């Protein structure tokens, strides 16, 4: 299979038509070999317009969804990023290529092992992979909790929770999908500090569907 041609087709036929026009995002997704991040038995599907299944009932996002996520985060070369849900590691690699550093966590050790191998193979070194539960271990009221310029939540939440927005630096951006079943929408949240007043600007940007974040029902009472 000609993976280079498949990557080009993915960009031109899936991602760009989904209003992903940021040249850095398109170049990044066009340069990183997505086939190196999918399960070996599914390499031939790496650039297809599908959610590639992973273990534990998880799956990779549609490529077009990954593109929108990256575009909405508006990543810069000095940004410190947090990714909740490493999964295959492909979005991790894209974020790390566009930003200064990515702290990516996942509840599944096998995901982290495979993602780490793929990142190393593709010379992506500015990433910290960690086995953590983002819903309970990143509570903003914990002392010493780090703040980030950009946060990507790669699993959906049944309703919006203020947990992750509290981890943003001033002018930081958060991408998250909220809702249940077929009534989900992607949200972008910006932490604004205009005129010294700290506030969060929450915008619904498009309708979509995404696998729920692991443990969300169990942990939601803790978060509130």
pLDDT digits (tens, 9 = 90+) for 55-88: 999 999 999 999 999 999 999 999 999 999 999 9
What's residue 197's pLDDT? 82
Residue 218: pLDDT band (50, 70, 90) is very low
Q: Which string of DSSP letters, residue by residue, matches the chain?
A: --HHHHHHHHIIIIIGGGT---HHHHHHHHHS-GGGTS-GGGGGGTTSSS--B-GGG-BPPPHHHHHHHHHHHT--TT-EEEEE--TTSHHHHHHHHHSSEEEEEES-HHHHHHHHHHHHHTT--SEEEEE--HHHHT-TTSTT---EEEEEE-SBBSS--STGGGGEEEEEEEEEEE-STT-EEEEEEEEE-GGG--EEEEEEEEEE--PBPTTHHHHHHHH-
pLDDT at res. 144: 63
Burial class (CB in 10 A: 0-12, 13-18, 19+), 92: buried
Report the number of distinct structural domains present in the chain: 1
The domain that contains 102 carries what CATH number?
3.40.50.150
Give residue 216's pLDDT band: very low, low, confident or very high (50, 70, 90): low
For residue range 112-165, list pLDDT tens digits in order.
999 999 999 999 999 999 999 878 766 666 556 789 999 999 999 999 988 899
Domain range for 164 is: 3-223
> Region 194-210: what's the mean pLDDT?
91
Model pLDDT, residue 16: 98
> Token pair for residue 178?
């909220």
The whole-number pLDDT of residue 136 equals 76
Tell me, what's the pLDDT at 145?
Answer: 76
The answer, yes or no, to whether residue 221 has pLDDT greater than 50, is no
Average pLDDT, the chain: 92
Write the pLDDT tens digit of every residue in 92-113. Answer: 999 999 999 999 999 999 999 9
Of all residues in the chain, the percent with pLDDT exceeding 70 is: 92
Residues 172-189 have pLDDT tens digits of: 999 999 998 889 999 999
CA distance 124 to 1: 25
pTM confidence score:
0.93
Grade residue 195 by pLDDT with cuts at 50, 70 and 90: confident
Confidence category of residue 196, pLDDT binned at 50, 70, 90: confident
Sort strands 80-84 and 101-106 into parallel, antiparallel or unpaired. parallel
């Amino acid at each position: 299979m000609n993976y280079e041609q498949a990557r080009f087709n993915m960009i031109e036929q899936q991602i760009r038509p989904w209003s992903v026009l940021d040249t850095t995002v398109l170049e990044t997704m066009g340069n990183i070999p997505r086939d190196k991040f999918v399960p070996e038995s599914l390499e031939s599907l790496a650039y297809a317009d599908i959610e590639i299944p992973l273990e534990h009932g998880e799956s990779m996002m549609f490529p077009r969804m990954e593109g929108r996520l990256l575009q909405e985060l508006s990543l810069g070369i000095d940004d410190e990023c947090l990714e909740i849900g490493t999964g295959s590691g492909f979005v991790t690699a894209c974020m790390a290529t566009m930003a200064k550093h990515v702290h990516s966590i996942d509840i599944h050790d096998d995901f982290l092992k495979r993602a780490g191998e793929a990142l190393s193979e593709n010379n992506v070194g500015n990433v910290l992979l960690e086995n953590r539960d983002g819903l309970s271990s990143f509570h903003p009221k914990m002392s010493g909790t780090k703040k980030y310029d950009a946060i990507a939540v790669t699993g959906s939440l049944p309703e919006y929770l203020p947990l992750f927005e509290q981890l943003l630096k001033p002018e930081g951006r958060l991408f998250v999908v909220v809702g249940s079943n077929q009534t989900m929408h992607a949200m972008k949240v910006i932490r604004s500090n205009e005129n010294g007043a700290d506030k969060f600007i929450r915008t619904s940007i498009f309708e979509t569907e995404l696998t729920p974040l692991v443990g969300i029902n169990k942990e939601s009472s803790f978060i509130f």
